[in-house]
Structure 1
Amino acid sequence: MVHNMTEEHGLDLSGGLEDVPVLCKALTSPTFKYSTDNVAGPGCSVDPSEVTLPGCSCLSCSCRADSCSCLQTFGQAYESIGRLLNINRPESGYSTPVFECNALCTCSDTCSNRVVQRGLQHRLEVFHTKSKGWGVRTMEEISRGMFVCEYAGEVISFAEAKRRQFDQRTEENNYIIAIREHAGTSSITETFVDPAQVGNVGRFLNHSCTPNLYMLPVRVHSVIPRLALFAGRDIHAQEELTFDYSGGYGTQPAAEAPSTVGLQRKQCHCGAMNCTRFLPLDLSILS
């Protein structure tokens, strides 16, 4: 891909696709295709870019809960400034579904129910860490509850996720994230996203046992959720951005090892006081 030079004399990894450049000052940049949105991969039966959700008929700049069909159907998720209303993790361990206004809605692009779809709003930098490979840090302060970035990539089937895991070499990084959402008592929806070859800045985020971001599935135009990362607390400028690969809010990472025999756990280098010493491991894809 073609990288643009930024005024800070670094590479813009997004190649101008993001409204805010993704800075990388390393001498060599990672090889992958940058995409701001999820793309259909092997086994994906629904085009993530296709608008499949109904829209509201609001004519105001910002939708109101007493008159917007989107907010009445799915509930209000954001404050007027775009901050999540329900930041704290619920006792059940599951989050309330988030649905934003979409391309079929007649409200303004500045509607307060349009947050994740606006893309990056904060200046982020991809950098080399001391012991974890690539990482991402913020160049400015980010307030608790604010959207930071997506974890975008190829949306693939369970079978394809399993195949890729078995084909993966031990020294290779695992990027596949499995989102499991509970709808009712027995219905579970699974979404598998792999940004290894096609992805965005989210692919460089490291795990931490005490993270400052958390992942929440957000639906915009499609029934396929966007894996949105929000600030779990106030984050300072120059601080590395991390999330817990073991999830919460119904998210689970794919397995880290290519076989179920003699599993080789990868060490965790997050440095947190409660560090479990190993990256989370999900065996479900390998079963």
Structure 2
Amino acid sequence: MGTVLPFLDLNLLPDPPTFSTTDAGNATTPIIRPKIEPKVEPFDESTTQILTHQLEFDNPSSNLLPSSPTTPFPDPNDPSSIALEPAASSEENVYSEFYRITEMFRSAFAQRRQKCGDVDDLDPNSRAIVPVPDERRLVVTTRRYQKRSSELVRVTNLSIEDQRYFRDVVRRTRMLYDALRIFSMMEEDKRHRMGMGRRMRGDLRAAAMLRDRGLWLHRDKRIVGSIPGIYIGDLFFFRMELCVVALHGQAQAGIDYLPSSQSSNGEPIATSVIVSGGYEDDEDSGDVLIYTGQGGQDKFSKQCCDQKLEGGNLALERSMHYGIEIRVIRGFKYEGSLTTKVYVYDGLYRIVDSWFDVGKSGFGVCKYRLVRIEGQPEMGSAIMRFAMTLKTRPLQVRPTGYLNLDISMKKEKVPIFLYNDIDSDHDPLYYEYLPRTVFPAFIYHAAGNNMGCDCASGCSNDCMCAQKNGGEFAYDNSGFLLRGKPLIFECGANCCCPPNCRNRVTQKGLRNRLEVFRSRETGWGVRTLDLIHAGAFICEYAGVVLTKEQAQICSITGDSLVYPGRFTERWAEWGDLSQIYPGYVRPTYPSIPPLDFAMDVSRMRNVACYISHSTSPNLLVQFVLYDHNNMMFPHLMLFAMENIPPMRELSLDYGVADEYTGKLSICN
């Protein structure tokens, strides 16, 4: 494993410190800075309290009862206790009315008991209007959440195996968060349609459930520098997801820092910032960032008073003082996102200067100059902006390297680029593009292929297609996969539902712009030019279907065959909520027999055939039927297992290597 280093004890440093970081972030030069005494302040929990209230409200298992008053309620049976109360306020009038009605019910039940004898006496100390058996009384307990540690550490010397391990931990946590968020939104839509209160935010609810079960990452340590398993360019759609993976621990504030009340030497230390355009005095040129401190804004995000050197502002100054690197996350609007902003991790920066200045609104603001540390991969935000330009003006951005601007020849709804700036290989141009899988004619004539639902406006959970899926649809109203299944039945040509039915997702074809490109590491690969959300449909893995006997003949000639039965069952990971719900059962219906057919991609293929193999893939294979009902021959549909930023390569788990040939077992 890598090394977890306790952070430098700041009390042991000379005063004033004799080191600082140059603009390049690599060397140190001695300087003398006047020491700024930190303000003695309690831990600012205002944002945390607001968030905690929201999370507990969204969490049905939390204590939703208001806190009890400091003094007990007056006993309605004790006149002296009521007489000692001060003049009645509006709130006390409500209590008085409550007690009056309670006594009225008590009297009525007492009379009923004297007359009929079928009503039990109430406990005089109980405030219940009717008696409740002990076994039915609800005891509400408050959960104790694991608080963030105040211990600062830095993780170094990670081996390749360590990096893969932490990457897989982050990937699984994010996959669980996304699946839970989609599932929660679906449940909230049902509650809203039934009139059971206002709709809750799925991102907050998912984060609350993960926190309840101790699944937030790195709560036992507060990491300075890079977070293991998180790469530069990783994309996030929600602020709460940043908290879940420990990239940024504040749900609302733009500066994440260790407060002075928790610091070993009483000085706050900043670890990360979010740059999202909330302050008019920010200046962002990429590698150099002029960051404006926090505070002094009104509810309309306008500067209305001077900022103070306290809290997060002081923490940034102290981080500069001690040469501590800062994680920078940029938030901005991006075309194609379902949220108002996307957040992308851009790497580590050094604070090289700080000063107090008069801002554009005429008020004093704290400013900090951050310089990106050299030797890091390209910024994710820069890549996203590049991809946005590339979609509209590819030849202007990259005048050389394009072999074709649409290898599908308009057979797909969006073009597929072909790019090679490495060598003279033009191999993808020699195949006929196949947008959908070609099945043998006999499977369309099987019994039951003419059956369809009779839904006029859209499918409901009690229609015939829903019953074929085990009583629930696999997609939400936005077309995202709720959880993987052995097989999904979509509505087909014999169904009466409209084309926009929620159960018609994969048959609509490719939606995102993809690019087949030449790579020195993986040969031909596929990357996306669009932002892809977790759970979204990508495309079909298409070829010409061969029966077992046909496949045996073609394998002799050395044709390229794909065996769908050898794909790893990654669909079982998507939507697996066993860590959240103890009674969760993996979907086993509709079940399918072992797939015993092959697909020939030696002459006709589509873009999916160029997707590279990975043991930690970002795509999964989901079997789907919509144009026939023969479960022996399903379509191979690809879905995103995580949020995929533009220009990132797509990958699949093709299975283990064949023990005889040493090649991936999916290909012959």
Distance in 2 of aligned mates of 1:142 and 1:184: 28
Query: Partner residue of 2:601?
Result: 195
Bigger Cα Rg: 2
Distance in 2 of aligned mates of 1:165 and 1:214: 26
Distance in 1 of aligned mates of 2:649 and 2:516: 10
Does the alignment pair 1:37 with 2:436? yes
Which protein is richer in strand relative to its size? Answer: 1
After the TM superposition, which residues 152-191 of structure 1 pair with which residues of structure 2 at under 5 Å, given as runs?
152-168=542-558, 174-179=560-565, 187-191=593-597
Deviates more, 1:206-215 or 1:23-32: 23-32
* TM-fit CA distance, 1:139: 0.6
Query: Partner residue of 2:464?
Result: 69
The superposition leaves residues 158-208 of structure 1 with CA deviations (integer Å, 9 ceiling, x where unpaired) of: 12223333332xxx8x44123379989994343322222112111111111
Q: For 1:221, give the aligned amino acid.
A: D
CA separation of 1:71 and 1:183: change in aligned 2, threshold 3 A = closer
What secondary structure sits across from 1:78 in the alignment?
coil
Does the alignment pair 1:119 with 2:481? no
Distance in 2 of aligned mates of 1:186 and 1:25: 39
2:644 to 226, 230, 235: 235
Which protein is richer in helix relative to its size? Answer: 2
CA separation of 1:183 and 1:72: change in aligned 2, threshold 3 A = closer
Q: For 1:201, give the aligned amino acid.
A: V
- 8 Å CA contact retained: 1:183, 1:189: no
The superposition leaves residues 212-261 of structure 1 with CA deviations (integer Å, 9 ceiling, x where unpaired) of: 101011001122311001111111111111100018xxxxxxx86xxx9x
- 8 Å CA contact retained: 1:20, 1:123: yes
Q: For 2:497, give the aligned amino acid.
A: C
Give the percent of matched residue pairs that are identical in Structure 1 and Structure 2: 34
TM-score by length of structure 2 reads 0.33
After the TM superposition, which residues 1-287 of structure 1 pair with which residues of structure 2 at under 5 Å, given as runs?
8-9=394-395, 10-26=404-420, 28=426, 29-40=428-439, 45-46=442-443, 52-60=449-457, 62-66=458-462, 68-74=463-469, 75-87=472-484, 95-168=485-558, 174-179=560-565, 187-222=593-628, 223=630, 224-246=633-655, 263-266=660-663, 279=664, 281=665
Number of corresponding residues? 237
- 8 Å CA contact retained: 1:53, 1:221: no
Structure 1 gaps, min length 5: 1-5, 88-94, 248-254, 267-278
Distance in 2 of aligned mates of 1:69 and 1:45: 24
What secondary structure sits across from 1:101 in the alignment?
coil
- 8 Å CA contact retained: 2:548, 2:598: yes
Distance in 2 of aligned mates of 1:54 and 1:209: 39
In angstroms, what is the RMSD of aligned CA positions?
3.1
Structure 2 gaps, min length 5: 1-391, 396-403, 570-587
CA separation of 1:96 and 1:39: change in aligned 2, threshold 3 A = closer
Distance in 1 of aligned mates of 2:539 and 2:468: 26
Q: For 1:54, give the aligned amino acid.
A: M
TM-score by length of structure 1 reads 0.73
